[in-house]
Structure 1
Amino acid sequence: MKECLPKQRIKTKLRLFFYLSALYAPTVPSPGPMVPPASMFGNVPGYEDTLAGGGGGYLPPPMPLHPNRDPEPAPVPQDWNIPSITEDVARERFIMYASGKCCYNNAPAKDGVITNMQAFNTYRYRLETFTESRSTEWATKPYEGELADFYTQTAPRPWEIPVTGPSLFQNHEENIKVPYTSSNKVFVCLFESQRVIFYCGCIPVCWVCNGSGKQGGDSPCNQCNQRGRENCSKCHGNGTKECETCKGKQQLLTYINLKVEWKNNVEDYVVEQNSGLEVDDLSDVTGKTLFKNAQYMLYPVYGFPDPSLSQASDRLVREHQAKYSQNSRILQQQQTIELIPITKVTYKWKGGIHVYYIYGNEHQVKAPDYPATCCCSIM
């Protein structure tokens, strides 16, 4: 056999050493993306306060969007009632409800005798405050030849950057690279100039031959091609993988990232109706819109027949305007009043008295004490 040259022999020993280290070393989690040191980030005039402590906090807007516009009271309708449903509709919806339940016998819905129908007018007040918030933080990405414009001009302040928002009352988020804040930096990764990480720690032993390279005696193992180990999905058997931070570029582009968030902040108040139906059940249905008013800043609803709704409107409007004007800009507010119809139906079946509810524009049904159910199981 031809003897290896000393240099080749050293390489062979090194390969064997690293192979055995990977094969018998305990499994460790592979290193995640490295965090660039703080020295990579420069000082940007005008951003000293906003980036203090790493950034990420919401920045107060410089001034209201419409500082001279005062809210105006809106006309409130006088008719707050709508007709209740008919007995035919109540029976039809009840039969559909029972037929859709696999464990319900629909006999009570079909044969039950309706003895009473009581309508409840339930009002839901909803306040929506549409806001825009802005925050800044340092960000990095692998450098791919982009223009580094740091200090070429004065960077605009966060609220000076023009951004096109979504439609009113729609949640949305944008991330924007602040102009004149980007620079490219040499990035030193872990191990050999950090282009790659040596030994990813995920080289598994072949499950067929258990690391021997042979299968069924002296037959070569086809699963691992006699190597005794399988390829790692991250390093493909090389024991190395690309740096997750710089993606092998060895340079990073650093810049200030502006995060703009539009959010529709919604709160509801439902007038207590004493029908026996839980208020939470009403969250899935709609009602008839009786009143809607949208302005930059709202005036509470006054003169409602139920004083609790007027009080809730006054409280919520004040709370929203105080809360959301601190670290965000209020773009628009909207308040609506819906009449959610609820009909409590009492019926008699086999000598017993029972109740079900039909509510919302959708005529949704709830029967908390349905008298003919069974337990079903799938074999």
Structure 2
Amino acid sequence: MAYPAGPAMYPAVMGMQAPALYNPVPGYEGLVPGASGGFIPPPPVQPMPTPDSHPAQDWSIPALTKEDAKEAFCKHVDSNCCWSSGPAKDCTITNMEQFNTYRYRLETYTESRKTEWATKPYDGQPVNAFTQPPPGPWQIPVNPPEMFKDSVQEVEVPYTSSVKPCEKCSATGKCACTACTGSGDKVCLTCSGSGKVSGEESCNECNGTGKKKCNDCSGQGTVQCATCKGKRQLLSYVKLTVEWKNNVEDFMAEQASGLKMEKLDAVSGKQLFKDTKYMVYPLLGFPDHNMVQASERMIREHQSKYSQSARILQQQQRVELIPITKVTYEWEGKSHVYYVFGNESKVKADDYPATCCCTIL
């Protein structure tokens, strides 16, 4: 078999294990064949943005009415098959307290890049190693997906490809069949390899031989090499892996309603503020000082943390006001409490007085 000449082509060594023939290419000399590539430091980060003025925001939210609170309560009770609807329908609401809380969310959308040697079956593609210097990892144009969506893309670095013989099959295109260990046949399961059944009767499945042709290799003892797909050669190149990741962090302002904070993770709130920029600036003029401090801390930490190993493409911050109403009600002379929270009007009623309406016969 003839192989094209040139610095990017290597002769296949037939019938023997071929050596790993990776010639280092300019700018990628540190890559070791077979080793996982490391992340490439991003270009220098741009300076922090300057404060800008945000328009005046409406921080209020309408109070929950008794009618809406009772409707949400009844729906919640109806969704629990073993709860009696009596207390929800017949109770008297005696007090309603609002404990609205804020949720701050910061999203930092980053792009990271790493390089490593890779191979794929050689199908006659042009090879171009050493024809000119390859571009650096951050010089290769790769279009990002939709902002704030996680994604991964692999790119062949230009001017790094060469051809090498497949080491897995010693450039033959075939490997020994693992199902029959290269023999071409397997022990007959019907007779367990004895060739006989029911005493001295010859086994019909294997015609008394005790062996059957291996289906995996059709009795040949060899199968197509999975590495080179039978091509006998591999295209060797530097692979660039680009990963886009949306790094999300939330901060919830404490509230004294008694409702556990983790319950609020499952609900949405009224969006009061949203800001999207290359780099956002901390909240200004917000009525909750804890939210302002959290915004300053999280933005500072994100820009310090993610700019070390990735390039920040965009940031987004938003503030939601999550409604929480603590409802006190009476039923049969006793006082109980439930909570209505989130835009979805979810209900939490731990001390519901009639949680089982099933009768055991």
Query: Normalising TM by the smaller chain, what interval?
Result: 0.7 to 0.9
The answer to whether 1:288 aligns with 2:263 is: no
SS in 1 for 2:255: coil
For 1:352 and 1:240, locate their aligned partners in 2 and report how far apart those are by CA, in whole Å: 81
> How far is 1:190 from its partner?
5.3
Residue ranges of structure 1 left out of the alignment (5+ in a row): 1-35
> How far is 1:188 from its partner?
3.0
For 1:89 and 1:170, locate their aligned partners in 2 and report how far apart those are by CA, in whole Å: 37
Taking the TM superposition and a 5 Å limit, the aligned residue runs for 1:40-189 are: 40-49=21-30, 54-64=35-45, 67=46, 70-75=49-54, 77-189=56-168
> How far is 1:332 from its partner?
1.0
Q: More deviation in 308-317 or 207-216?
A: 207-216
Change (3 A) 1:219 1:96: farther
Q: Match for residue 18 of structure 1?
A: none
Change (3 A) 1:246 1:82: same
> How far is 1:79 from its partner?
3.4
> How far is 1:84 from its partner?
1.8
For 1:119 and 1:61, locate their aligned partners in 2 and report how far apart those are by CA, in whole Å: 47
> How far is 1:216 from its partner?
5.4
Change (3 A) 1:347 1:63: same
Change (3 A) 1:226 1:295: farther
Counterpart code for 1:347: Y
> How far is 1:92 from its partner?
1.4
For 1:367 and 1:251, locate their aligned partners in 2 and report how far apart those are by CA, in whole Å: 68
> How far is 1:281 from its partner?
1.3
> How far is 1:356 from its partner?
1.7
Q: Deviations over 1:152-179 (max 9, x none)?
A: 2211111101111112211111100111
Q: Give the number of equivalent residue pairs.
A: 339
SS in 2 for 1:40: coil
Q: Contact 1:76–1:303 at 8 Å: present in 2 too?
A: no
Q: Deviations over 1:314-347 (max 9, x none)?
A: 1001001111111211111111110011111122
For 1:155 and 1:191, locate their aligned partners in 2 and report how far apart those are by CA, in whole Å: 30
Change (3 A) 1:38 1:271: farther
For 1:347 and 1:89, locate their aligned partners in 2 and report how far apart those are by CA, in whole Å: 14
Identical amino acids, percent of aligned pairs: 52
Counterpart code for 2:37: G
For 1:307 and 1:59, locate their aligned partners in 2 and report how far apart those are by CA, in whole Å: 39
SS in 1 for 2:99: strand
Change (3 A) 1:328 1:231: farther
For 2:295 and 2:77, locate their aligned partners in 1 and report how far apart those are by CA, in whole Å: 39
Q: Match for residue 369 of structure 1?
A: 351
Counterpart code for 1:167: E
> How far is 1:236 from its partner?
5.6
For 1:222 and 1:335, locate their aligned partners in 2 and report how far apart those are by CA, in whole Å: 74
Q: Contact 2:173–2:231 at 8 Å: present in 1 too?
A: no
Change (3 A) 1:239 1:325: same
For 2:105 and 2:263, locate their aligned partners in 1 and report how far apart those are by CA, in whole Å: 16
Q: Contact 1:205–1:229 at 8 Å: present in 2 too?
A: yes
For 1:140 and 1:192, locate their aligned partners in 2 and report how far apart those are by CA, in whole Å: 14
Q: Deviations over 1:236-287 (max 9, x none)?
A: 6655433222222221111111111111111000000111112111112111
> How far is 1:110 from its partner?
1.9
SS in 1 for 2:20: helix
> How far is 1:304 from its partner?
2.0
For 1:177 and 1:192, locate their aligned partners in 2 and report how far apart those are by CA, in whole Å: 23
> How far is 1:368 from its partner?
2.0
Counterpart code for 1:320: H
Taking the TM superposition and a 5 Å limit, the aligned residue runs for 1:1-379 are: 39-49=20-30, 54-64=35-45, 67=46, 70-75=49-54, 77-189=56-168, 193=172, 195-200=174-179, 208-212=190-194, 234-235=216-217, 239-374=221-356
For 1:292 and 1:340, locate their aligned partners in 2 and report how far apart those are by CA, in whole Å: 15
Q: Deviations over 1:65-115 (max 9, x none)?
A: xx3673333416353221122111111122211212223222222222222
Counterpart code for 1:102: C
Q: More deviation in 149-158 or 233-242?
A: 233-242
Q: Contact 2:22–2:33 at 8 Å: present in 1 too?
A: no
Q: CA RMSD in A?
A: 3.0
> How far is 1:199 from its partner?
4.2
User: TM-score if structure 1 supplies the norm length?
Assistant: 0.79
User: TM-score if structure 2 supplies the norm length?
Assistant: 0.83
Q: Contact 1:105–1:373 at 8 Å: present in 2 too?
A: yes
Q: Contact 1:294–1:334 at 8 Å: present in 2 too?
A: yes
